[in-house]
Structure 1
């Protein structure tokens, strides 16, 4: 039980205090793709750590927990879980029920979102077919007769870009191509799927600050990542002027990022930093738990 409790403590620490650190790192100039990976991997680490803690409580004899604690040090037996046997069944039952309830909420929320997304896709594809448009490109574009500057994309198997005639009339050819490149980047990067996962987790597990703030962070970072991709092909000034003309979401943050950061491809050190930081983010809860257990083992021997 002690091992599960320490792992759960690591999950709580990371889940409650990592959003502020991740926000500072994101504002510090790292690429949007790197920041996005760190946010998502931290959330995955918290979920995996919480599930692991529950499994240690539910499994008979807490699975590998006794063997792990014996490896740490013989002195650890003095503070082992065997001194509180009556708590084990109660804690395991409560933890298992909590996981089943959370999984059920997650499944219902995910199913509802998929149903709404499928309906939206079907309506757009019907319009595309009825309009007689035969676009052989991998990602077809549906032009709608609207005077407002509209541009968005739909991901999934039948991905689609939707743009308005008003957008084409308001932007120059170069700006319009930058906007379409931005939407292509959303589809290629599977940003719609990432946002959907983040929103489902945030809606289901709102009591965890990291997961509550995850949807907003992911929505912003996918926009920055798409801006970066568009700027790499069409120039940051073109993307900036297109944003000013269309007044897209989070425009002030996106304009500031375009002004302060390069739009070039990720350099090798940046990729190394992304992988190293992502690995640390994923393993943060068990690493914190292992550090606490090792420290407790040393202290118990003094």
Structure 2
């Protein structure tokens, strides 16, 4: 049990700093955004599980040789059904820290989800006053605004895409199709849930710089995923023209009424749509996707990250083998 707790602590440290830092600087992620997003999720889940698991296993080590037997022995101690030595004050402190940290993560996620739901509802109420349903596109609202605006508002029952009058008049039909395909992919693939999870992770650990790195990296990757989906319907030049037109309008908007900023977008669960230099470079000079063996290695690492701490918590003797 002690060896397992040390290994999980080392894994938690590795996933908290050097691994996210290296992944945020990796160039291959833009060539395989799906695999990169999965890997980021695995790093976050495995990191949290390792942090909690290392303290939990170390705190329960006096009670048994594995987590299950230690938990049963601890439960019997609480019920007074077993004569055994109680864990020391240091072990009890570790158990309390593990419990409080797990509770902190769960409550932060619940608070972020509740806040997002409320702010999204307020945003929908505002849209009812400022927009009208599209006559040609289902689940689409037309905002009476001269500048080209396009974003999506996810919802449990029904999601909507918001387009401005300026976008419909300034963009060609193909460019409009590119923008709509991009925003629809955000809704279809529920990118807002990814943003919510990583926003909650960042709020739970604001002192951890890599939590912000992970959030920013995932935001860029989901925009690349949406671009790839739009490229299935339009050519690269059309999509690039549409993106640059909307981004230029946002930069020149003096009233600040353009598409929601990344901060506000994250609050209401809307993908921000930032046009990063990496995203533009990917559209201007496309690179070949990762080959199957390389994607297989990334997926293998993702699966290993998810299974390793889970298996060690259940069967710590495997580490000795």
- Which interval holds the TM-score relative to the shorter structure? 0.7 to 0.9
Alpha-carbon shift at residue 95 of structure 1 (Å): 2.5
Alpha-carbon shift at residue 273 of structure 1 (Å): 4.1
Structure 1 residues 60-110: Cα deviation after superposition (integer angstroms, max 9, x where no partner): 63544499xxxxxxxxxxxxxxxxxx9x63443232332333344334433
Give, in whole Å, the separation in 2 of the partners of 1:65 and 1:26. 41
Give, in whole Å, the separation in 2 of the partners of 1:222 and 1:63. 44
Tell me whether 1:211 sits opposite 2:211 in the alignment: yes
Give, in whole Å, the separation in 2 of the partners of 1:132 and 1:6. 57
Q: TM-score, normalised by structure 1?
A: 0.75
- In structure 1, the residue matched to 2:299 is 275
Give, in whole Å, the separation in 2 of the partners of 1:180 and 1:66. 50
Give aligned pairs, total: 274
- In structure 2, the residue matched to 1:105 is 104
Alpha-carbon shift at residue 18 of structure 1 (Å): 0.2
Structure 1 residues 196-218: Cα deviation after superposition (integer angstroms, max 9, x where no partner): 10010111123444334211111
Tell me whether 1:254 sits opposite 2:303 in the alignment: no
Structure 1 residues 223-255: Cα deviation after superposition (integer angstroms, max 9, x where no partner): 111111111221222111111101152332211
Give, in whole Å, the separation in 2 of the partners of 1:202 and 1:44. 13
Give, in whole Å, the separation in 1 of the partners of 2:308 and 2:31. 20
Tell me whether 1:42 sits opposite 2:66 in the alignment: no
Structure 1's 164 and 203: CA in aligned 2 closer, same or farther, altered over 3 A? same
Q: Give structure 1 stretches of 5+ with no counterpart.
A: 68-85
Alignment of 1:114-133 (within 5 A): 114-126=113-125, 133=133
The answer to whether the 8 Å contact 2:133/2:140 transfers is: no
Alignment of 1:81-160 (within 5 A): 89-126=88-125, 133=133, 140-157=139-156, 158-160=158-160
Give, in whole Å, the separation in 2 of the partners of 1:8 and 1:257. 37
Structure 1 residues 252-274: Cα deviation after superposition (integer angstroms, max 9, x where no partner): 2211012233598x975565344
- Root-mean-square deviation over aligned CA pairs: 3.6
Alpha-carbon shift at residue 22 of structure 1 (Å): 1.1
Alpha-carbon shift at residue 46 of structure 1 (Å): 1.0
Q: TM-score, normalised by structure 2?
A: 0.71
The answer to whether the 8 Å contact 1:102/1:205 transfers is: no
RCO comparison, higher one (Cα < 8 Å, 6+)? 1
The answer to whether the 8 Å contact 1:202/1:215 transfers is: yes
Q: Give structure 2 stretches of 5+ with no counterpart.
A: 69-84, 248-272
- In structure 1, the residue matched to 2:82 is none
Structure 1 residues 133-178: Cα deviation after superposition (integer angstroms, max 9, x where no partner): 48897x7111111112221112231222112111222211111111
The answer to whether the 8 Å contact 1:49/1:285 transfers is: yes
Alignment of 1:1-302 (within 5 A): 1-27=2-28, 29-59=30-60, 61=62, 63-65=64-66, 89-126=88-125, 133=133, 140-157=139-156, 158-247=158-247, 249-261=274-286, 269=293, 272-283=296-307
Give, in whole Å, the separation in 2 of the partners of 1:263 and 1:121. 38
The answer to whether the 8 Å contact 1:58/1:93 transfers is: yes
